[in-house]
Amino acid sequence: MSDTITVKLIDNPGGIADCPGFKTAGIACDIRENGKQQLDLALVTAESPCAAAGVFTLNDVCAAPVHVCKEILSHSGVKVAGFVANSGNANAATAEQGMVDAKEMSTNSQLETGIGSPFLVCSTGRIGRVLPMGKIKAGIAAAAQRLNESEEQSLNAADAILTSDTRRKVATAQFVFNGKTITVAGMAKGAGMIEPNMATMLAFLTTDLEVESSTLKDTLVRACNKTFNRISIDGDMSTNDTVLLLANGKSGLVPNDHPELLHAFREAVFMVCDTLAEKIVGDGEKVTKLVELVVEGCKTDKDAEKIARSVGNSLLVKTSWYGSDPNWGRLADAAGYARVGLKEECFDIHYDEVPALIKGKPQDSKLSEWKTIVSKKRFRITLNLNQGDGNFRLLTSDLSEAYVDFNKSE
């Protein structure tokens, strides 16, 4: 047997139910209270209780469902039944009532499905408004009746978590080990502003591998650090950001017994997260361009991250991308105010492969080539400080007038 297992993303992914042993439902229960038949509640269960891991927002202001998930996952070795997620209302800044409601969503999912293990819970949407619990309870009851393994319900679930997203976001990776196919399936909602209150990102991954929770957590954290934590649309961090990974063990395979199996699993989780992260940035609110910012040659990776975030979140940089203006001066300015000790006389900037600044000197003869690159829908900018080995990659976007218009009021 080969040491390396090939992991592949599948074409036409079908969402969570691509992974054997998971049932899904996505239904409409009018959480937005506007009378429209919009899918807004997703319920996911496994045939048998799952090991689970979560990565959550670092915001001091956390929504109630984040508190509930953290509490459930704080019990060592806990197994969960699945999760329930709604769009249309974030259950954030809702004080004590929010906690009561988030817990009730969890326990209600248990009651309606008849599964004894706890349900994780996520909400996204408008903040500062109490959940319409009557509608949500009716929704959970209806969803529990429709739970199945069909692709239709799986895609309904993926649609039910969307807010201002313009496209469904699903990805599935698979690999074969000892003749058995292992799957990691995922769905996400975007970091565009919602409803239009704030940028929440939710992502849900499932696998049929049997993975203990500490390995699951470690795998998820590694993947998030290289994917979801390296995307930026407007630099705002939501109160609700959550990524969950559930393992139902249906394949009967345990990666800890096989280093190459663990390696393939980590790769599959990374690939699903990376694909979902890219879909999120590409579908950011009123985004017209996707920019891959590569920062190299820093003293530390942390310095490189500071520069990447300083540049990637600069309004002046983002508006210049929107205008297809190869304004490397703004890049240099934003890199400079990250204040990591950048030396101008060592500093290189490239648009794709074309130099803009070499050792601090502008390469003006390349102006027309820069313009061509910055006019593309997707391009790469590399900043090299030539002062060490630290590096960081950030996927980011431009800033349009439409973004301002879209977010200027509720």
Residue positions annotated with a catalytic role: 200
CA distances from 196 to 182, 192, 407 (A): 38, 9, 6
Residues in 1-40 at the binding interface with a copy of itself, rule: CB under 8 A: none
Per-residue contact flags (x/-) with a copy of itself for residues 53 to 92, judged by CB under 8 A: -----xxxxx-----------------------------x
Q: Which is nearer to a copy of itself, 169 or 289 (CB)?
A: 289
Single residue of 8, 10, 75, 95 touching a copy of itself by CB under 8 A: 95
Where in 301-360 is the site for a copy of itself (CB under 8 A)? 314-316, 319-320, 322-325, 327-330, 332-345, 347, 357, 360
Q: How far apart are CA 246 and CA 311, in angstroms?
A: 35
| Least spacing, CB of residue 382 vs a copy of itself, in Å | 17
In the complex, least distance from residue 362 CB atom to a copy of itself, rounded to whole angstroms: 5
Q: Report which secondary-structure segment, H or E, holds 126.
A: strand 119-126
- Report the 10 Å Cβ neighbour count for 371: 13
User: HSE-up of 109 (CA within 13 Å, CB side)?
Assistant: 28
Residue pair 191/243 in contact (Cβ under 8 Å)? The answer is no
Q: Which residues pair with 214 in a beta bridge?
A: none
- The pair of three-digit structure tokens given for residue 279, joined into one six-digit string: 């879909």
Task: Using the minimum distance from each CB to a copy of itself, give the nearer residue, 216 or 334.
Answer: 334
Determine the interface stretch with a copy of itself among 12-20, 131-139, 147-155, 236-244 (rule: CB under 8 A): 236-244
String of contacts with a copy of itself for each residue 242-281, x by CB under 8 A: ----------------------------------------
Q: Where are the alpha helices (DSSP H) in 227-314?
A: 259-282, 301-312
Return the H-helix or E-strand segment holding 406: helix 401-407
Distance CA 401, CA 410 (A): 17
As measured in angstroms, the least distance from the Cβ of 169 to a copy of itself is: 21
Q: Count the residues of the shown chain that bind a copy of itself, applying the rule CB under 8 A.
A: 62
Binding mask 188-217 for a copy of itself (x = CB under 8 A): -----x---xxx------------------
**Closest distance of CB 95 from a copy of itself, Å:** 5
Burial 155-182, CB ≥16 within 10 A → b, else e: bbbbbbbbbbbeebbbbbbbbebeeeeb
At closest approach, how far in Å is the CB of 401 from a copy of itself?
4
Between 28 and 316, name the residue whose CB sits nearer to a copy of itself: 316
By CB under 8 A, name the one of 104, 112, 210, 234 that touches a copy of itself: 234
Question: Please, what is the Cα angle at 357 between 353 and 335, to 5 degrees?
Answer: 100
In whole angstroms, how close is the CB of 375 to a copy of itself at the nearest point? 11
Identify whether the C-beta of residue 361 lies closer than 8 Å to the C-beta of residue 273: no
Q: Give the whole-angstrom CA distance, residue 128 versus residue 41.
A: 19
Residue 254 near residue 211, CB atoms below 8 Å: yes
Does position 381 interact with a copy of itself (CB under 8 A)? The reply is no
Which positions touch a copy of itself (CB under 8 A)? 58-62, 92-93, 95, 127-128, 193, 197-199, 234-239, 314-316, 319-320, 322-325, 327-330, 332-345, 347, 357, 360-362, 399-401, 403-405, 407-410
